[in-house]
Structure 1
Amino acid sequence: MNSADGTPLAVDVTPGTEDGTVLFAHATGFCKEVWGPVQDLMVGRRTIVSFDARAHGDSGDPGPPYDWWDLGRDVLAITADVGTPILGVGHSAGAAAMVLAELLEPGLFEHLILVEPIIFPGPPIRVEGHPLTEGALRRRPSFASLDEARANFAGKAAFARWTQDSLDAYVRGGLRRAGDLWELKCSPDSEADFYRGAVATGAWDRLVDLTVGVTLVAG
């Protein structure tokens, strides 16, 4: 599947027996597979759809700068052929993508579950030196084995509360073979560039236009 600008999008679909769709979108630096353990609890009900964001996982990378409104357009491309009603579930950048899609096409979703959506208030923040950008640039880009990658991630504070299944899903979907190494599908540079694009959406001032019900999750 391609987005409106031609960027290839990797999409997974698990058919359900009930009407409607649950669409999952991951955070910056991750991949569609991280939602797998959650989706396993829902199999057999609504159709489940998840996708790799542009420059992530197995989706195409148009290169920086990344316009986050394109993330919303990616969601529109994916939802064009799915069953309704659509429940959107997104984390961080994935949550922002859901909001941007709803602003582009009001009424797209029946409800949104947004986990720590990246939508900044007020004037643009300074991204150079921001903890999100700097943290991305410090990420280790490659590993000698998947076991080494798993051990590395498990020792990081960001993964301290992840279940083993969730961590395994990230290792399985977030790295690719590159010669003798395993490298992150979303490189540290791409992840940092992705965060740089977060400040220019202007979406905060348009949140008042949202009419869809929203459940916010943080912590």
Structure 2
Amino acid sequence: MHTIFFAHANGFPSATYGKLFSALAPDFRVEHLEQHGHDPRFPVNDNWENLVDELIHHLQARGEPVWGLGHSLGGVLHYHAALRRPDLYRGVVMLDSPVLTLADRIVIRAAKRFGFIDRITPAGRTLGRREEFGDLDEARDYFAGKTLFSRFDPECLDAYVRHGLARQGENLRLKFDAATEISIYRNVPHRTPGRPQQLTVPLALVRGRQSKVVLPHHARLLKQVPRGEYLSFPGGHMFPLERPRETAELLKSVFGRWDGHRQEAHA
């Protein structure tokens, strides 16, 4: 049985994706960190370099390469880690994670320098967001009314509420630290560890067809990756939590095909 090492989207603890993980079993064993960016040894910094270090730290402790799977933030972390340490990977799948062009990175660098990064990332919307709730029902009703969550699979929404909140005094509070979430957005990479054509492991970018995060020009950049491919999937940026079972079937197909190619190459 091969191992998938999953990395979550910003603000969504890994347990939110439990239905996706269950759908990948028993074909794959899924491992993950509970929350990226919360280990004091790896504080969020510019270009997410410490977050990539954190991921590499856990991968190299395993002793064997993995299938890297990441949603949004998590996909970018795996991509950067694979550029630095391809020996840790069998391949990488990015779920609606952009591979940024030079033009994108120039804009991001300018946004950081001149102070408008909150306008081009979700950081501005995260500022002042509600963090405390009286009980789980109140929290579920609140999030169910938000556009971002409106198409979530009901079990995924329940998992987010159940695993994403912790008791603090008489109330429940979001586990994912708001300041950390905002810092992750504000430090979105304008620099990468290498160029797409330098990646030596298979890479697939799966874009939600209605996504406003991964755009057509990001998909075109995949042509520069020697073993890269672009796939589209029904839904928007949050499709892994909207259609977890269908997402798992797509992933099984991709990983199975890549594994077949590996076996043919070693035959």
TM-score (normalizing by structure 2): 0.67
After superposing the two structures, state which structure 1 stretch, 161-170 or 73-82, moved more.
73-82
Structure with higher helix content: 2
Tell me the residue number matched to 1:31. Answer: 13
User: Is structure 2 residue 59 aligned with structure 1 residue 79?
Assistant: yes
Three-state SS of the structure 2 residue aligned to 1:186 is: coil
Provide the rounded CA distance (Å) in 1 between the counterparts of 2:78 and 2:44.
21
Describe the shift of the 1:179–1:119 C-alpha distance in structure 2 as closer, same or farther (beyond 3 A). Answer: farther
Cα distance change of structure 1 residues 38 and 67 upon mapping to structure 2, 3 Å threshold: same
Indicate yes or no: 2:194 matched with 1:212.
no
Partners of 1:105 and 1:137 in 2: CA distance: 35
Structure-to-structure mapping, 1:1-219, within 5 angstroms: 18=1, 20-56=2-38, 59-60=39-40, 65=45, 68-82=48-62, 84-120=64-100, 121-125=104-108, 126=111, 127-200=117-190, 202-203=191-192, 206-219=195-208
Task: Note closer, same or farther for the CA distance 1:153–1:204 as it changes in structure 2 (3 Å cut).
Answer: farther
Change (3 A) 1:96 1:207: same
Counterparts in 2 of 1:204 and 1:158: CA distance versus 1, 3 Å: farther
Aligned position for 2:243: none
Structure 1 stretches of 5 or more lacking a match?
1-17
Mapped to 1, the partners of 2:47 and 2:173 lie a distance apart of: 25
Where 1:128 maps in the other structure, the secondary structure is: helix
1:140-163 Cα shifts (integer Å, max 9, x gaps): 111111111111111111112210
Q: 2: CA distance between counterparts of 1:26 and 1:156?
A: 20
- The SS at the match of 1:218 is strand
**Moved >6 Å (runs of 4+):** none
RMSD: 2.3
Aligned AA (2:153): T
Counterpart amino acid of residue 40 in structure 1 = S
TM-score (norm 1): 0.80
The number of residue pairs the alignment matches comes to 198
Q: Distance in 1 between matches of 2:188 and 2:178?
A: 16
1:35 Cα deviation (Å)?
Answer: 1.8
Moved more, 32-41 or 101-110: 101-110
Q: Which amino acid aligns with 2:198?
A: D
Q: Percent identity among equivalent residues?
A: 30
Stretch of structure 1 that moved more, 172-181 or 117-126: 117-126
